[in-house]
């Protein structure tokens, strides 16, 4: 009814204005009236006003409220799922998974399985998530579960998963077939791997890729079926697929094992002419095979290529190559030119071990795991040492934190920090700053205040610039309470214009203008004119 009367009033006004302006003028000669008539269908009625309706807009949360939750990224979700599956019993893990505010889809489940949680829990999780509303496993999640069983040498379970895929009519692609071939041959069932290859070739909807051909070549060479491998390689070329770096590596590896070093070096040159450059993995594999065969001439040619392309060997392969050259009476000058850093690392490790105030076994094991970058094992070792009150040198703690930072492992870095707090180990200031910066980049803000407190206990301070910057970053991440705590932890001589400005910006943004004004009045004598102008501008905008 309201719409009808609104439209009626508009038409009356239009007719009145038309008569007043045009009088008896013919209607079709008036361009203005035609425009007005065409605008009738665009008439937009004003919304009715209801004076008693409450204002539904949410007021700004006060700073006394809890910190706003930061945006949760997929990598954090996957990390939470992995941690839950690894460290909780299945009953507890199931309850925690139920509480996660996520919609289960193929990508999320697949990424969670690829973190390689314990095999039994991975299988329980795989079956549990299949009962979620609206979720169905696809070939990606099945293939990942198949890989988990294959890696654990649970071949019967792997075959069961594959049969489930077939029964449900899922599309089985080259990735799934290649994975099956690899794990079957790995368990010693080469004939079973050959049958899978033939089944893939017979499948009209599946075409082998260069990865599939390469995996099959490695299986055949490993079983000394050279004639069959040669035919498969020719078949790959005839199908239009070009060999990749790993394909060439498989061929050269077989030739080196067979003692055909000239042919291997010939392929090493030919692949570069074809535009395929040997990578670090290829060079390491070839050097390792040359060492086992005692072949130094081919090794030297590969080292010359590595020197020109700045490729280095893994530490165990380097030591094996060093020993091989020593036994053969050859100079190791080229090997050391390619690896100038290894001698520095060795001397540093030796000095660290000799200066350590703990038993050599613990110190040496920590350094060994750091060198291997086996940080998962290092976490377990560090937790055990913390429970037994076994102290490490502060420089080792700093190295552990930096190693976890480089590999994006905030949990490992925080474990090292917890170790230092519990055992009273005081790292250098740069270690604290490294950890704070790493946590900020990882959007983990709940531990920042605790780290700054430990910095103060150790006699370090953030400084004016870093203090103001940290307050500003916490404000941007919607952690105003933590930002205020950081300000309170600063020494009095660092509570200056910059830090006060950052804090007052936090209060204004959190909707606590009264507190911002109180700080402004309390510290009026300590502010300069530029600070006053900033506050006045903030008040006018609020």
* DSSP sequence for 391-417: ---HHHHHHHHHHHHHTT-HHHHHHHH
Rounded to an integer, the average pLDDT of 200-205 is: 85
CA pair distance 261, 124, nearest whole angstrom: 50
CA pair distance 213, 239, nearest whole angstrom: 11
The two tokens of residue 493 are 């001589």
CA pair distance 501, 486, nearest whole angstrom: 14
Contact 232, 220 (CB under 8 A): yes
The two tokens of residue 70 are 């930061």
pLDDT for 43 equals: 41
DSSP state of 25: -
pLDDT for 29 equals: 41
Q: Residue 139's pLDDT band (boundaries 50, 70, 90)?
A: very high
CA pair distance 150, 154, nearest whole angstrom: 6
Helix (H) or strand (E) holding 490: none
**pLDDT at 167 exceeding the cut of 80:** yes
**pLDDT at 124 exceeding the cut of 90:** yes
Rounded to an integer, the average pLDDT of 244-248 is: 95
Whole-number Cα distances in Å, 304 to 144, 338, 397, 422: 40, 8, 38, 50
**pLDDT at 281 exceeding the cut of 70:** yes
Contact 494, 461 (CB under 8 A): yes
Contact 447, 429 (CB under 8 A): no
Q: Residue 15's pLDDT band (boundaries 50, 70, 90)?
A: very low
Residues 392-435: pLDDT tens digits? 888 888 889 988 888 888 888 889 888 888 888 888 888 888 88
State the Cα angle at 170 between 164 and 176, rounded to 5°. Answer: 80
CA pair distance 508, 101, nearest whole angstrom: 31
**b (16+ CB within 10 A) / e for 134-153:** ebebbbbbbbbbbbbbbebe
**pLDDT at 122 exceeding the cut of 60:** yes
Pick from 539, 475, 485, 535: nearest CA to 510: 475
Pick from 409, 525, 482, 358: nearest CA to 63: 482
Of the two residues 155 and 466, the one the predictor is more confident about is 155
Half-sphere exposure of 417 (CA within 13 A, CB side): 27
Average of per-residue pLDDT values in the chain = 79
pTM of structure: 0.54
Report the share of the chain in percent with pLDDT over 70.
74
Contact 259, 292 (CB under 8 A): no
**pLDDT at 127 exceeding the cut of 60:** yes
CA pair distance 463, 199, nearest whole angstrom: 67
Q: Residue 390's pLDDT band (boundaries 50, 70, 90)?
A: confident
pLDDT for 508 equals: 65
**pLDDT at 498 exceeding the cut of 80:** no
pLDDT for 285 equals: 94
Whole-number Cα distances in Å, 309 to 239, 278, 283, 419: 32, 10, 11, 41
Report the share of the chain in percent with pLDDT over 90.
40
**pLDDT at 485 exceeding the cut of 70:** yes
pLDDT for 394 equals: 84
**pLDDT at 355 exceeding the cut of 80:** no
């Amino acid at each position: 009814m309201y719409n009808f009367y609104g439209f009626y009033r508009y038409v009356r006004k239009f007719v009145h204005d038309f008569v007043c302006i045009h009088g008896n003028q013919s209607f079709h000669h008036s361009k203005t009236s035609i425009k007005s008539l065409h605008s009738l269908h665009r008439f937009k009625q004003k919304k009715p006003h209801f004076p008693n309706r409450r204002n539904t807009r949410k007021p700004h949360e006060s700073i006394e409220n809890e910190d706003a939750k930061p945006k949760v990224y997929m990598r954090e979700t996957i990390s939470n799922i992995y941690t839950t599956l690894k460290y909780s019993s299945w009953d507890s893990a199931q309850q925690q998974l139920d509480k996660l505010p996520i919609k289960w889809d193929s990508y999320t489940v697949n990424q969670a399985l690829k973190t390689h949680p314990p095999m039994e829990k991975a299988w329980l999780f795989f079956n549990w998530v299949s009962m979620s509303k609206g979720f169905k496993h696809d070939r990606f999640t099945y293939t990942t579960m198949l890989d988990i069983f294959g890696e654990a040498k649970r071949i019967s379970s792997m075959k069961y998963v594959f049969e489930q895929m077939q029964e449900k009519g899922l599309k089985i692609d080259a990735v799934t077939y290649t994975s099956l071939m690899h794990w079957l041959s790995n368990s010693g069932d080469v004939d079973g791997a050959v049958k899978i290859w033939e089944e893939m070739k017979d499948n009209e909807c599946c075409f082998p890729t260069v990865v599939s051909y390469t995996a099959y070549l490695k299986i055949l060479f490993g079983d000394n079926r050279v004639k069959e491998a040669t035919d498969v390689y020719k078949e790959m070329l005839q199908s239009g697929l070009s060999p990749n770096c790993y394909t060439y590596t498989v061929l050269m590896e077989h030739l080196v094992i067979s003692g055909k070093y000239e042919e291997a070096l010939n392929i090493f040159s030919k692949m570069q002419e074809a535009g395929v450059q040997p990578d670090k993995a290829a060079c390491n594999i070839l050097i390792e095979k040359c060492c086992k065969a005692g072949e130094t001439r081919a090794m030297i040619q590969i080292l010359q290529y590595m020197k020109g392309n700045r490729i280095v060997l893994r530490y165990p392969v380097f030591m094996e190559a060093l020993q091989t050259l020593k036994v053969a009476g050859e100079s190791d000058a080229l090997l050391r030119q390619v690896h100038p850093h290894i001698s520095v690392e060795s001397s540093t490790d030796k000095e660290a071990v000799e200066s350590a105030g703990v038993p050599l076994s613990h110190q040496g094991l920590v350094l060994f795991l750091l060198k291997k970058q086996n940080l998962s094992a290092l976490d377990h070792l560090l937790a055990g040492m913390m429970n037994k009150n076994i102290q490490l040198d502060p420089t080792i703690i700093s190295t552990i934190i930096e190693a976890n930072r480089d590999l994006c492992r905030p949990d490992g870095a925080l474990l090292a920090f917890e170790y230092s707090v519990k055992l009273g180990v005081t790292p250098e200031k740069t270690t604290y700053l490294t950890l704070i910066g790493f946590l900020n980049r990882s959007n983990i803000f709940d531990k920042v205040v605790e780290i700054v407190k430990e910095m103060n206990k150790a006699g370090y301070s953030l400084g004016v610039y870093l203090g103001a910057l940290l307050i500003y970053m916490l404000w941007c991440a919607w952690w105003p309470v933590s930002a205020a705590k950081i300000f309170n932890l600063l020494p009095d001589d660092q509570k200056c214009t910059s830090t006060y400005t950052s804090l007052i910006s936090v209060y204004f943004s959190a909707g606590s203008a009264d507190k911002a004004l109180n700080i402004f009045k309390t510290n009026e004598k300590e502010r300069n004119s530029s600070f006053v102008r900033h506050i006045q501008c903030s008040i006018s905008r609020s």
